[in-house]
Structure 1
Amino acid sequence: MIKVAFVFGFRNENWLGGINYYRNLISAIKSLPDRKIDPVILIGTRGSEDLLRDFPQLEVVKTTLLDRRHPSWFFRKLLYRISGRDIVFEKFLIKNGVSVLSHHHPLGKRARVPVMGWIPDFQHKHLPELFSEIELKSRDKWYGEIASQCSRIIVSSDHARKDLEKYFQVEARRISVLKFVVDYPKDLDLLDRAALEEKFSFEGGYFHLPNQFWQHKNHEIVVDALKILKDKGQKVVVLATGNTVDYRKKDHFNWLCKKIEEAGVADGFRILGVVSYGDLVSLMVHSAAVINPSRFEGWSTTVEEAKTLDKPVILSRIEVHQEQAPKNALYFDPKNASELADCISKALLCDTRGKGGGFPLNDLAVSNNFAQRIAFANEFQEAVLAAAYPQEKVHSPML
């Protein structure tokens, strides 16, 4: 069996989408019948395994090579700078039986361990105004090295594939489009509607907006839509979950809170912040619809979560959201608050009980989700085999 490694560099829950991405991918791999690959997580000795609590059981290897500012980390980086190759880490991988390193920066030219690089999206090309000049150049350099040195490049959508071909001239044969699928832990503790209302102090119907509070997530258009609806005498509640820190613009959350107050919709736009995964899914299940107003996405985790739950969604009309193609979707121009307000009104008419959904997954949804996860895992396995055996045409069975 081929051992494929992932460096898990998360120190906290600042990027929940990234943590959930790895959890979903590894869970899908573990579900693959007759699989030919075995995932292993690599973390620093200071890393918290608590972030892996919802992951399936798998091998976890700790090393000081991944501890920033540790002497061995400095030694590794020094040799990399001198030789242009991550020799120390490469030897560590070989010693631990790793055949392919996935979702990682290249180890340098002529490295003995093939690397599959991951580029989540090209947001900096589409929304450069949200980035500093330093970060724009850094991302171009980083992505350029992935494009030129990795054995394969993983992207999450056809939209990103086209960007990769356009901006970095990567041949199609080296690109793997891996459209991830969500899997809910079987022992996930979900709250019923009454417990949810008591815990988060609300009553009645509501919409769920589960996005980090980053500039491109476009929360402000929801505030504007609520103001429009309020002026028409229509009271709507939106419960927003997610991390409130935007590293690119530290005052963004405070600015949004001020906007909510000035619009007079503080009773309608409720910020819950970071919640447990069980609570997040519970909020989705009982909502009238899930809203994602984002100006840009690589492949939206929230949309996939809603699709798995068979929830209605209200989405910004961007290419990736349309590519994800949820069957119960209403779309709006991400710059047009009136369109969003109309979508919210339509969704309310469909939610006649004011109680949102019911049970999280029915038998058909479970069956469809399993089939999608197997296809997702097979796509990834194909990519790993192609990276491990570049001279061979290896195909894993589609089950």
Structure 2
Amino acid sequence: MKHKIGIFLDTQPFEGGAFQYSQTILEAVSALPREQFDVVMTFTNDSWNDLLKKNDLKTLHVPFGFWKHFPGKRLSGYLPMTLWRSTCRRFISPARILLAQQCDLWIFPAQDIFTYLLPLPALGAIHDLMHRYEPQFPEVSAKGEYGKRERHYRNLCQWAKGIVVDSEVGRKQVLESYTVSPPHLHVLPFVAPRNISKDKESSLLDNIPTLPEKFIFYPAQFWQHKNHKVLILALALLRERIPDLHLVFTGAKKNGYNELQNRIRDLKIGRQVTFSGYVSDRDMTYFYRRARAMMMPTFFGPTNIPPLEAMAQGCPTAVSDIYGMREQLGSAALYFNPSSAEGVAQVMEQLWCDDKLCGELSRQGLLHSSQWNQEHFNQKLLSILNKVLSPGYQ
């Protein structure tokens, strides 16, 4: 039996991991066997134009505009979800557009509210529940954010036909947090985006600022939970023993940026830190190739995409020893306590000084990348779709 599948693309490049993950899902959907699936790809913004041109599948622009921001985020919060879902098609044209496609299943890869706001058979995604597990960070708890996230994930678990999570740890956290049937949760681990390829050179090197000859790299937006400050503290601890130690950061300014700048000024280490701002995915390759190592001291998981990107480039990698990171990376990375500047400094010194260690980490990272890549991801998604669309699946 042939099935019709829809995919809904609503993210933009500045949204980071959500946009990358949506690209990975898009590629997997594009690779579905044509004799088994008809596919319609819907998108809401021009960021997807070039990517969608690379395949010959049906595409459809869905102009959510005003409706995305008002009823989806406000009105739907005041109406019972059953009532909202039964009536939204009457006054929201995008709902009618998607319903008219008569798909057997819609894939919403970016934790989209439309996974449950629209009365469609949906495969949704839960990337993390860190508002529950790390609520001390204001970006997931302050100014009503905690309640907003709770409503979102509760509705997603209630109404989605299936949910993909990043890891076994992520699956366990969803089951701990919400009422959801275990067979409805499907583990689909992150993969390095295809555009982070060990064979691909950056095309815009003239726009990239001059980098130091040797540096530790951390690509992350400056949210407090990303924990840039522990790298700064570790650098300060090592500056007398390793005077040429240098950090390079990329990412957009968020709620942790000003504090980080103040800390750097107080410690008088500004000459040892480079801020390169926002860097496009295709130019990120250059940073990974040039870096001595990538260190990611985040407090959030369960797993993350940047370590996979680094490994795909052969860049030695060290990460926070939290949640599902060992499940994700195994022996291909070093691990540290993200709360300990002394522990981070110890790993930083190892990476800076031990050529043999870095060579082994590079080798292990490339091996890890070959064992779980886009082709494996494609096959796993196909298996999940076959389960969700099977006659006995409820």
1:127-167 CA-partner distances (Å, limit 9, x unpaired): 11221151111111111111112111221121111111111
1:97 CA drift (Å): 4.2
Q: What letter corresponds to residue 302 of structure 1 in structure 2? A: P
Q: Tell me the TM-score normalized by structure 1.
A: 0.81
**Counterpart mapping for 1:1-399 below 5 A:** 1-10=2-11, 12-31=12-31, 36-37=36-37, 39-44=39-44, 47-49=45-47, 53=51, 56-57=54-55, 58-64=57-63, 66-69=64-67, 83-85=83-85, 86-87=88-89, 89=94, 91-103=96-108, 104-105=112-113, 111=119, 113-130=120-137, 131-132=141-142, 134-185=144-195, 190-191=201-202, 199-244=208-253, 246=254, 249=255, 252-351=256-355, 368=370, 372-391=373-392
Given that residues 100 and 116 in structure 1 are in contact (C-alpha distance below 8 angstroms), is that contact kept between their aligned partners in structure 2? yes
Q: How many residues align?
A: 376
1:200-221 CA-partner distances (Å, limit 9, x unpaired): 2233211211111111110000
1:242 CA drift (Å): 1.5
SS in 2 for 1:383: helix
1:288-341 CA-partner distances (Å, limit 9, x unpaired): 111111011243110111232333101111122212125431111101111111
Q: Tell me the TM-score normalized by structure 2.
A: 0.82
1:100 CA drift (Å): 1.1
SS in 2 for 1:278: helix
SS in 2 for 1:25: helix
Percent of matched pairs sharing the same residue = 20
Given that residues 122 and 160 in structure 2 are in contact (C-alpha distance below 8 angstroms), is that contact kept between their aligned partners in structure 1? yes
1:33 CA drift (Å): 5.8
Query: What CA RMSD, in Å, does the superposition of the two structures yield over aligned residues?
Result: 3.8
> Aligned equivalents of 2:388 and 2:171: distance in 1?
18
SS in 2 for 1:325: helix
Unaligned residue ranges in structure 1 (runs of 5+)? 394-399
> Aligned equivalents of 2:241 and 2:334: distance in 1?
21
> Aligned equivalents of 1:346 and 1:272: distance in 2?
25
Cα distance 1:106–1:152, how it changes in 2: closer, same or farther (>3 A)?
A: farther
Given that residues 26 and 39 in structure 1 are in contact (C-alpha distance below 8 angstroms), is that contact kept between their aligned partners in structure 2? no
1:234 CA drift (Å): 3.3
Greater shift, 54-63 or 141-150, is seen at 54-63
1:287 CA drift (Å): 1.3
Given that residues 168 and 187 in structure 2 are in contact (C-alpha distance below 8 angstroms), is that contact kept between their aligned partners in structure 1? yes
> Aligned equivalents of 2:281 and 2:58: distance in 1?
23
Greater shift, 171-180 or 232-241, is seen at 232-241
Unaligned residue ranges in structure 2 (runs of 5+)? none
> Aligned equivalents of 1:70 and 1:110: distance in 2?
12
Q: What letter corresponds to residue 279 of structure 1 in structure 2? A: D
1:316-373 CA-partner distances (Å, limit 9, x unpaired): 11122212125431111101111111111111223379999999x98x788x26x642
1:7 CA drift (Å): 2.5
1:187 CA drift (Å): 11
Given that residues 223 and 260 in structure 1 are in contact (C-alpha distance below 8 angstroms), is that contact kept between their aligned partners in structure 2? yes
